[in-house]
Amino acid sequence: MKINGVEIEDTYAEAFPMRATRIIVTAVNRRWALNAARAATGFATSVIACGCEAGIERELKPIGTPDGRPGVSMLLFTMSSKEMARQVQNRIGQCVLTSPTSACFAGMDPGEGERLALGKNLRFFGDGYQISKKIDGARYWRVPVMDGEFLCQENTRMVRAIGGGNFLVLAETQKQALAACEKAIAAMKKIPNVIMPFPGGVVRSGSKVGSKYKALPASTNDAYCPTLKGQVKSALPPEVGSVMEIVIDGLDEAAIRAATRAGIRAACSLGRRRGIVRISAGNYGGKLGPHLFHLRKILK
């Protein structure tokens, strides 16, 4: 299979079960909503060392937020319910509660998944001066802070989700690989229910499970490192000089398939004539996770 002269390898991305939640942050204007959301989703590229994978799903207009102000929808993914509770409390407490004019709301439907504390624990920052009110069955906390009040919904919901969807862009040069990935990310950001958690949505340090060093759970994917072609069993043809990966976390398989399809087609729009050689994917022979995303099937 080829798209615009770019070969689509007959392979699959291997993904694994995760837990996920959506949180809505609002503020007096777009800039301050983004400031809070960017801080809350910082250092969250990989559960290997970050504890969670998080990112901005989309920006929200005032008509689409609970308090009628500019907002941002964030998605957070973890490997366990316990870790999710810890990450939400720390990130919202340290990055949203602290951000001027911010408020915080549940982003999941009330009947979905399991309950997850949001403002339930953060209210104690009010030192006894916090007050609550129920609206349409949901409890909200008003916590006094120096610029006024921090409004936060008591609970949100956590659902089962999928992490680790991915595809690889193989190009002649680094510049060409990055250009293709930038096009892919622009297209994928239009797809709901997914995030691409790495910086700008792109990762250059794709990994394999394990290492020659016992302390490391993962190490560089040497088969896709251009500088190691003569030293390892390389997966790269001679003309490939750079490989970049896009990792996708999603609330369900359909969302990851849609994002993969949009991203690959956008990356291939540059074509073979502009240095894009092949699209591949990272997997571990089905040993890492039960969710297999076959590239050719998705693109058909």
Q: Is the pLDDT of residue 287 over 80?
A: no
Domain CATH code at residue 246: 3.30.70.520
Domain edge (last residue) among 159, 184, 217: 159
pTM: 0.94
Residue 107: domain span: 19-159
Domains held by the chain: number: 2
Q: Is the pLDDT of residue 286 over 90?
A: no
Q: Do 127 and 209 belong to one domain?
A: no
Domain edge (last residue) among 129, 159, 189: 159
Cα-Cα-Cα-Cα dihedral sign, residues 205, 208, 211, 212: negative
Q: Over the stretch 125-175, which tens digit does the pLDDT of each residue have? A: 999 999 999 999 999 999 999 999 999 999 999 999 999 999 999 999 999
Q: Do 96 and 64 belong to one domain?
A: yes
Q: Do 124 and 58 belong to one domain?
A: yes
Q: Do 179 and 152 belong to one domain?
A: no
Q: Do 109 and 201 belong to one domain?
A: no
Using only C-alpha atoms, the chain has a radius of gyration, in whole angstroms, of: 21
Q: Over the stretch 265-280, which tens digit does the pLDDT of each residue have? A: 999 999 999 999 999 9
Domain edge (last residue) among 144, 159, 174: 159
Whole-angstrom distance, CA of residue 260 vs CA of residue 116: 29
- Which contacts of 141-145 are long-range, i.e. CB under 8 A and separated by 24 or more positions? 143/97, 143/119, 145/97
Q: Over the stretch 76-128, which tens digit does the pLDDT of each residue have? A: 999 999 999 999 999 999 999 999 999 999 999 988 999 999 999 999 999 99
